[in-house]
Structure formats: structure tokens, C-alpha cells
Amino acid sequence: MVWSTRRRRAWREHHSIRPASDGHAHATPPERRAAGVSTLLEICVDTPEGAALAAAAGADRVELCAELALGGVTPSTGAVAVARASVELPLMVLVRPRAGHFCYGPVEVATMAADIEVLKASGVEGVVLGALTEQGDVDVEVMTRLIDVARPLSVTFHRAFDQTRDPHEALAALAALGVERVLTSGQAPSALEGLTLLKQLVAAAGDGLSVMPGGGVRADSAATIVSATGCRELHAGPSVLTNGPLPARDGHVGGAALPADHQRRMTDLAGVQALRSVLDT
């Protein structure tokens, strides 16, 4: 079942859910394209609230995951349903069964395939995948299986790409598989630091799959990245650390790398707005 715009609106009304609004009008993606704006802005979020904030702030597309502090994993079916009902932008969903390396065993691959089947029925536009061999190459066998399950959804290969042995070989393999886009920092800590490779990859891809820079992208670096690489799409996930209603206490339920128990990270509305402004200039 594919969720139409009418169905999403009816679901929102029934569940008293409204898209977030910052009080400002934002041009829709088709209107921006008609105006000659060519750089698409994808915002990565890990909550339905984040998806609504990204839409209100001017994102063209949203990637939904869970636990961005862990690099992102597959979100719950409930989170996908609420995000889908909350925004009318194209919605991509991360399919990653766990944190850690990108070499997957049979049970993990079966889990990913099952998750994709569920997502196909949820009305999302695409999935975000990635699998590597122990040699650091694209796992063509696993990716072929997952892509076959995913079709006709759009497929993005995520930043597992930045762990590949040879990025040029990896790009060619993904193009042959029919992947629509590749998310990469240019195998550097951030996209700004990976400009040299990113420019090469964008040129190599040509009018085929989209090489989408991501990794530490902010308003103060977006224009440089777009200008230097010639990319058609840009990926970012601006966030802010906020305090919750509970006081800070000794001890920490989560891991050391996670926010403290009285805090959480949330999508930064102002950060997305700033990116939109830069890309529309």
C-alpha cells in the first residue's frame, strides 16, 4: 500500500498531528527547481519531530533513521508511520540493523530485507542501504538482493562508501547496480575536508547516479562544497543538544559517547533554515 497525499492528510487529522511550522513560508521543492535552484537539500533526522522541523525549515527531502549518536540504525515502524503522515516531502529511510561495521551475515541481511518489505508498504519514497565485503569492496551479492527487494523504491548507498578500499571502483559498482545516489564525505572526516575526492567522484558519475556530499555540512561550508564539487544534492543533519525536564543525576544509563540521561539531541530548525538560505542564494 502506497500512502497518497490524501491518505497522509486524513491520517494526520485523525491522530491530531500537524506538520511543524516556523511561521515562515517556504517554497516547495518543485517551485525552487522551477526558479532555477539546482542543489537539493536532504536533511537527516532521527525522530518524526525532526522530520517535521526539517520540512518546515525548507528541506527538499528527509532521511529518517534512529539513534544518530550511533551513526544511525533502522527506525521503528511507528516512527516511520508518524514521519510519513507528518511530512509530504520525499522520505528516505535508513535500513541498518545495528551500529558498527558494514559486513553483514545471513541473518542480518534477512532482517534488512524484511525491514525493506515493511517500508515498501509504508509509503516512503526510498531506502538508504550499504554493505561491504571483508575486503572493503561493495558487497554486490548482498546489495543486489536488497535492491531487488526494494524496487521500485529509490536506493541510496550510505557512508559505508567511505570505508571502501577503492572509491572509484565502488562508484562504478554502484552505478552498475542501479543505485540512485551515494552519500559520502569523500572518505574524509568531513565533506569539507574531502573536496578533492568528492569533485573527482561527481565528475566520474556525470549525469548518472548522484554523488551527494555529507558529513559535517553546515551553512558556513555548504556553498564551498557545492561550488567545489558541482554536486546536485547535499546532505546535512544539523542538531542541537537540549536539556529535558528531569534533572541531571550521577551515573549514566547510556554509553559514554551518548548524550547524558537528562539531555537529547534534536534537529536544529535554525541550522536547516540557514542551509536553505545559503543554497537559495
Inter-CA distances, 67 with 96, 113, 181, 217, 266, Å: 11, 20, 22, 19, 11
Residue-wise pLDDT for 16-64, tens only, equals 444 433 333 334 454 544 555 569 999 999 999 999 999 999 999 999 9
**Is residue 251 very low, low, confident or very high in pLDDT (cuts 50, 70, 90)?**
low
> What pLDDT score does 240 carry?
84
- Segment 254-269 shows an average pLDDT of 69
Domains of the chain from N-terminus onward:
21-280 (3.20.20.380)
> What pLDDT score does 71 carry?
92
Residue count (the chain): 281
Residue whose C-alpha is closest to residue 12's, from 79, 84, 108: 84
> Which segments of the chain does DSSP mark as H helices, in order?
5-14, 29-34, 48-57, 77-86, 106-120, 140-150, 167-177, 195-205, 219-229, 269-280
Residue 126: pLDDT over 70: yes
Which of residues 116 and 4 earns the better pLDDT score? 116
Beta carbons within 8 Å of 37's beta carbon, 6+ residues apart: 279, 280
* Cell numbers standing for residue 171: 562508484
Task: For residue 154, list its beta bridge partners.
Answer: 126
> What pLDDT score does 243 carry?
75
Q: Confirm if 174 and 157 have CB atoms less than 8 A apart.
A: yes
DSSP 4: P
